[in-house]
Amino acid sequence: MIHTPQRRASALIMIVVCLALLAVMMTAVVRQGVAQKHYLDQRERRAQAHWLAQAGIEHAAAQLLANPRQYTGEMLTIIPSSQVRIQVQPGKDSFVVTSEATYPTDEAERASISVSRAFRVVRDGTKVRLEMVD
């Protein structure tokens, strides 16, 4: 088999084309991976903020059981880099508790979730409990 300069050039062009296609495919794969990581990070932040907001509701419920008329809300740092703002709005026979959680507070991309629940204080003899109101 004779290797002419023309054959060598066409083989070299084929190699360059294959390498270019491989580079384009690898770029697409890397971009997809970065986009997926960003999506999962945001999903994790939203999930954490949701559970922090739920924890704020639970905390407020405990405070309402202890001091139903004195508790109006507060700011909490349940875990590092988090902020939970609890507000209690008293009604005639019930309380509306709003818990807004932000996570993480020390990063540019944050998730904020707000959860509200209505509670009624029920006294049964010496026992006191909270019931959720629909």
Give residue 13's pLDDT. Answer: 92
Give residue 50's pLDDT. Answer: 96
Give residue 97's pLDDT. Answer: 95
- d(C-alpha 6, C-alpha 77), whole Å: 72
Average confidence (pLDDT) per 10 residues, the chain, 134 residues: 75 92 95 94 95 96 86 93 95 89 92 94 84 82
Give residue 8's pLDDT. Answer: 83
Give residue 3's pLDDT. Answer: 65
Give residue 40's pLDDT. Answer: 95
* Cα 24 to the center of its chain, rounded Å: 33
Beta strands 94-103 and 73-76 are: unpaired
Residue 51: strand, helix, or coil: helix
Closest CA to 53 of 105, 117, 7, 125: 117
